[in-house]
Amino acid sequence: METRADLVIVGAGMVGSALALALRHSGLQVLLLDAGPLTVEPFAASAPFEPRVSALSAASQRILERLGAWEGIAARRVSPYSDMHVWDGTGTGEIHFSAASVHAHVLGHIVENRVVQDGLIERLQGSDIGLLPGTRLEHLRRSGDDWLLTLADGQRIRSPLVVAADGAHSAVRRLTGSETREWDYLHHAIVTSVRCSQGHRRTAWQRFTDHGPLAFLPLERDGAQDWCSIVWSITPQEAERAMALDDASFCLALEHAFEGRLGGVLHADPRVCVPLRQRHAKRYVAEGLALIGDAAHTIHPLAGQGVNLGFLDAAVLAEELLHARERGERLADLKVLSRYERRRMPHNLALMAAMEGFERLFQNDRLALRWLRNAGLKLVEQVPDAKALFVRQALGLTGDLPALARA
């Protein structure tokens, strides 16, 4: 027996769930499937921080507000930040960005991925979106003008349109033969939450070290500002050594790498080590197929932009599908899906290129390049208009924005 749907979204992570919410009330029969339980666990404000967090931009916040998910997210735990301080650990260049420079209250919010996910799933429950939890995609093939999906439990679904939102190791991308360009950064990221002896002052801090960038992202719990989420990008050999350290030695090594900008590192939660690899799909779309979020692109966590790109992907794809439906067009038609690709691919590629350029510039220890990057940081610091441009980019409020992200 087959289940029929107008659209199947594979992957109910943050981006897939956002797309599903954007399509509710559309009159489309949408199925959202995921291997996870798609349940919301009770949240305790005093609970330890989850190691994986996202730096949500103002554009992402607007999208989540209009999807009705932000209220539940904010009711759990969010950590706003209004300033950003970046410096070169091997030179004298420093730069400070402030939301106030563009008359904004915050640059963004650091939010645990679990909190964002729970806020989205909460809104999906009881909606007209069909949820298929605890199931995994086994096979996917063309059947006439449709896709035929076979799940691990034997269930079969027929749909003209499949959206891959199943992450960096996308099964949909693999099963459909969608090609990617990818390369290894030759770095691993150590991720955890730490408590410092000095408050973070709602500032995101980033130091470029000899081994890679180190970010201290501000977290708040019960009003206290002494916790940070850290993303420490170092070589695999250094990562192996750092992961093998006991907690006290790790805190000392981290404090040294951060130049003690927030005083002593007093405590570190359990650490997670993640290999860093950049991927970009050669095409985001094919007949009856669209890739969004990490299934389409993964970037260096240098600026925490990954999920923001994914939310914009979801909002633009939903917008194009809804417009096509209003015009009576077939949603699975390649010309309809290509409108999404044309709007999102240039923006994503531009940001990926910028992040790659930053990463390479700050990893190079040649004297001329070291002088250049320090001179560049100092120059931008002295030009308010240039800094304001960077701030607007960080807010995510420039370029071709979907309606869900506009003011």
Q: Are strands 156-159 and 146-151 parallel, antiparallel or unpaired?
A: antiparallel
pLDDT tens figures, 69-107: 999 999 999 999 999 998 876 766 788 888 988 888 999
What secondary structure, in 3-state letters, does 168-212 show?
CCCHHHHHCCCCEEEEEEEEEEEEEEEEECCCCCCEEEEEECCCC
Q: Are 15 and 310 in contact (CB under 8 A)?
A: yes
pLDDT above 60 for 379: no
For residue 60 the two structure tokens come to 């992402």
Regarding predicted confidence, which is higher, 387 or 61? 61
Per mean pLDDT, which range of 116-130, 205-219, 336-350 is the poorest? 205-219
Task: Give the mean pLDDT of the chain.
Answer: 90
Domain extents for the chain? 2-41+48-182+277-405
pTM for the whole thing?
A: 0.93
Task: Report the distance separating Cα 146 and Cα 7, nearest Å.
Answer: 10
- In angstroms, how far apart are the furthest CA atoms of the chain? 67
Report the alpha-carbon distance of residue 147 to residue 22 in Å, rounded. 22
Hey, which residues does 203 pair with through a beta bridge? Answer: 83
Query: 33: exposed, middle or buried (C-beta count within 10 Å: 0-12, 13-18, 19+)?
Result: buried
Parallel, antiparallel or unpaired: strands 289-291 and 162-164? parallel
CATH of 2-41+48-182+277-405, one of 1.50.10.20, 3.50.50.60, 3.40.50.300, 3.40.50.920: 3.50.50.60
pLDDT in tens, 37-53: 999 989 998 899 999 99
Nearest-angstrom CA–CA distance, 340 and 316: 6
Please name the residues in contact with 393: beta carbons below 8 A apart, sequence gap of 6 or more.
Answer: none
Range in 49-63, 104-118, 317-331, 340-354 with the lowest mean pLDDT: 340-354
- Least confident stretch, 52-66, 302-316, 323-337: 302-316
Measured in whole angstroms, the distance separating CA 229 from the mean position of its chain's CA atoms is 15
Greater confidence (370 vs 112) lies with 112
**What single string gives the DSSP state of each residue in 110-157?**
EEEHHHHHHHHHHHHTTSSSEEE-S--EEEEEEETTEEEEEETTS-EE
Give the pLDDT band of residue 371 (cuts 50, 70, 90): very low
pLDDT of 360 reads 55
State the pLDDT at residue 366. Answer: 53
pLDDT of residue 385: 59
Helix, strand or coil for residue 256? Answer: helix
